Structure 1
Amino acid sequence: MRKLTFGLAVLALTTIFNTGFVRAQQPAGIKNIVLVHGAFVDGSGWKSVYDILVKDGYHVSVVQHPLTSFDGDVAAVKRVLALQDGPCILVGHSYGGAVITVAGNEEHVQGLVYIAAHAPADGENEAANGKLYPSAYKSLKKGADGFDYIDPASFPADFAADVPLKEAKFIANSQMPVADSAFHAVVRNPAWKTKPSWYMVAKADRIINPDLERMYAKRANSQTVEIEGASHSVFMSHPQEVAKLIIMAAEKAGKP
């Protein structure tokens, strides 16, 4: 009897393990996720979101675009999209939103997710849109070589107020300067016109005015969530909520 009970217990545990394994390896909907970082940071900021999605069985790619020109950044995203083995969800943070608005026209892309991001319309650029809804931060510095950066001393408060201070200071001092011309690049044929989109508004964002984020979301008819107290670095400070929105997009865009 003890052997039988033990055998049944092992069988039950094996069934639970295998069921969980299958669920983790076969998520519902679209399986491929491509993450695109914004200005002044690199792809490493997606690490927590990446870990959650991979644990849930998604195939996740993180683009490391150079921030040296808008066209170059779009090309970098398209290069990664070309590696996908099927439909994907394209996710952009901040300036990365403008990039995915163009790159999202690639056939692999079935849905767009904007995380506190720009989503310009045809003929617009993010620099001009930012003037319509002025940002709270005043720490942007323009280098003599045409590359912009954020004053490291102000970076934690302006860019990452809800990120642990030690981590925010590291990001401030490892930031990637951005070609100023990239912010003035005019968008053509925005992908959100023809593809479904989801949007996360960071309600305490000092880099992009939350009202501009709401305008983008409403205009694109995006399914929208707002995160209370979230800074511009919401993709780092609220990875669970970000991953949940991405999974929602993957499941809904993947339906026939």
Structure 2
Amino acid sequence: MTTTEPIKNVVLVHGAFADGSGWRRVHDLLTARGYRVSIVQNPLTSLEADVAATTRVLDLQDGPAILVGHSWGGTVITEAGVHPRVAGLVYVSALAPDAGETTAQQYEGFAPTPEFVIDIGADGYGYLNHDAFHAGFAADVSEADAAFLADSQVPVDMAVFGTVVGAAAWRDKPSWAVIATEDKAFDQAMLQHMASRIGADITNVPGSHALFITQADTVADVIVKASLNSSR
């Protein structure tokens, strides 16, 4: 979707093991620049449920919006981004499957990430291992902040990674990617491959998988860039 309307709406979608509060700094930076920012709270119970949660927020927008996803949120925005309000997509160290693919397929052929340890319960829900959380998810935050993030993490139904994606918004809408070069959740080659495959404008930045917190200035700047370029 290309629009001549100024884009002032931004919708932020968090990933697995987290909630929307991690976007606070990005929210504050964008609202200070005149943007209207909405944050989705994904239930992380299924792709369908997360897409529905995102769609409900998109329905509330009063004009075109930039849709932003972190990590698993990339899969969510890939499908939810077909919404007519979405003018552009921003992937923040995020997954970017194609229609007909699963999220799990994106990992095939890439190196494992041994520091990103997921413990899976009998009910099929996964948590990041508490002892490995700081190193694996948020190595560039303080120990106290990492402990809080670990204690407040939201479990994800691991079945979501095997769900086939029904649509790929990036095929029709411009995309940007911010990639953390010290991300321990994904092989760096995997992140670069996904972003290149979707034709994203790529920004590399030093940081952990928690770059939506620690590199909020860069993430906000890329969102602004997307808002300006999607409206041409």
Same topology, TM > 0.5 = yes
Q: 2:13 aligns with which of 28, 36, 41?
A: 36
| Separation in 2, partners of 1:53, 1:117 | 20
Judge conservation of contact 1:29–1:252 (CA < 8 Å) in 2: no
From 69, 76, 97, the counterpart of 1:99: 76
Structure 1 spans left out of the alignment, 5+ residues: 1-27
Counterpart-to-counterpart distance in 2, 1:249 and 1:206: 26
- Provide TM-score, normalisation by structure 2: 0.95
Give the Cα–Cα distance (whole angstroms) in 1 for the partners of residues 59 and 217 of structure 2.
Answer: 28
1:129 matched to 2:106? yes
Shift of 1:211: 1.1
Task: Give the corresponding residue for 2:166.
Answer: 188
2:116–2:184 Cα contact (<8 Å) kept: no
| Residue of structure 1 in register with 2:140 after alignment | 162
Identity of aligned residues (%): 45
Cα deviation code 1:113-165 (max 9, x no counterpart) = 00000000122122221232234235111110110111111101100001122
In structure 2, the residue matched to 1:206 is: 184
- 2:44 is matched by which residue type in structure 1? L
Q: How many residues align?
A: 227
Q: Output aligned runs, 1:244-255, within 5 Å.
A: 244-255=221-232
CA distance in 2, matches of 1:41, 1:138: 14
Matched residue type, 2:201: Q
List runs of 5+ in structure 2 lacking aligned partners.
none
- Kept in 2, the 8 Å contact 1:122–1:190? The answer is yes
Is 1:80–2:57 an aligned residue pair? yes
1:226 match: secondary structure: strand
Which is bigger in relative contact order (C-alpha 8 A, separation at least 6)? 2
Question: Does structure 2 retain, via aligned residues, the 8 Å contact 1:38–1:94?
Answer: yes
CA RMSD of aligned residues (A): 1.1
The answer to whether residue 134 in structure 2 is matched with residue 179 in structure 1 is no
Between the aligned partners of 1:107 and 1:207, the Cα distance in structure 2 is: 31
CA distance, structure 1, for counterparts of residue 78 and residue 112 of structure 2: 21
**Per-residue deviation, 1:49:** 0.4
Counterpart in the other structure of 2:45:
68
Query: Which structure is higher in helix share?
Result: 1
TM-score normalized by the length of structure 1: 0.86
Alignment partners' CA distance in 1, 2:185 and 2:111: 9
Asked whether the 8 Å contact 2:14–2:73 carries over to 1, the reply is yes
Cα–Cα, structure 1 residues 129 and 117, in superposed 2: closer, same or farther, change >3 Å?
same
The verdict on how the C-alpha distance between 1:131 and 1:149 changes in structure 2, with shifts beyond 3 A counting, is farther
Cα 1:81/1:91, change in 2 over 3 Å: same
